[in-house]
Amino acid sequence: MTNAPKKLVIGSMAAAALVAVVAILDLALKIPFAGRMVMDITFILGAALVGYMCYESYKDMA
């Protein structure tokens, strides 16, 4: 099997982590998006869901 699916899952996990970090920073510091709380919470929940799905998919590949 090639490494492409694993790389895709890891890239998705990194993107979800980046979205979560930016949303948490926005909630805490109101930088860079002026602290829209509902959107930040939605982004954090979405990033957590994508991260969980990536983790489960990565476990299945191993």
Residues 31-54 have pLDDT tens digits of 877 878 999 999 999 999 999 999
Give residue 1's pLDDT: 55
**By the 8 A CB rule, do 53 and 18 touch?**
no
Q: How much is the mean pLDDT over the chain? A: 92
User: Both tokens of residue 44?
Assistant: 């954090």
What total number of domains does the chain contain? 1
C-alpha to C-alpha distance for 24 and 18, rounded to whole angstroms: 10
Supply the range of the domain harboring residue 14.
Answer: 4-61
C-alpha to C-alpha distance for 24 and 1, rounded to whole angstroms: 37
Of the candidates 54, 56, 45, the one whose C-alpha atom is nearest the C-alpha of residue 19 is 45
Q: Is the dihedral of CA 42, 44, 45, 47 positive or negative?
A: positive
